Amino acid sequence: MNKKVILSALGGGLILFVVGGILFEFLLKDTMADMIKAMGSVYNQNPNFAIIALAQLILSLILAIFIYKSNVSTFVGGLTTGAWICFLIIFWFDLWMLTTFNFMTVSMALFDTISNTALGAVASGVIGWIKGKIN
């Protein structure tokens, strides 16, 4: 892997972790609380934040590789490319969750797909921007 992919993936991972925390823990706190209540004992009340950070880095690396291979080097280019990639990955996952877990509802799946696609798009924009700034 080259320097552009690694550095842009680190930047994107930071955005996913920090902005995701702000988005889901503060801005959408009430909606998230309702969804967590519906999950019952399936939800882990004390998640391991190191593993969450690792998961965000892995998603960011996937996005950075796609953006690198697509020759994207701007914020807007990263945003649009990443939005499509995230939408497809998250929509697939939510459809799978919808048919696998009793607590999952259509509205939860739509909320998750839209919010995480937006988060991934912003992170991908940063990935594209960082890639464009690195010589």
- The total number of structural domains in the chain stands at 1
Position 7 scores a pLDDT of 96
Position 36 scores a pLDDT of 77
What stretches of 8-124 adopt beta strand conformation (E)? none
Contact 81, 99 (CB under 8 A): no
pLDDT along the chain (135 residues), means of 10: 93 96 89 79 81 96 96 97 97 95 90 96 98 90
Q: Which pair of tokens denotes residue 134?
A: 């690195």
Q: Which domain holds residue 26?
A: 3-133
Position 63 scores a pLDDT of 97
Position 103 scores a pLDDT of 86
DSSP string, 51-75: HHHHHHHHHHHHHHHHHHHTT--SH
Query: What is d(CA 135, CA 114) in angstroms, rounded to the nearest whole number?
Result: 34
Tell me the one-letter amino acid at 120. G
Q: Which residues contact 106 (CB under 8 A, 6 or more apart)?
A: 98
Position 2 scores a pLDDT of 92
- Residue 105, sorted as left (phi over 0), alpha (psi -120 to 50) or beta, turns out to be beta
Q: Which pair of tokens denotes residue 119?
A: 């988060």
Position 84 scores a pLDDT of 97
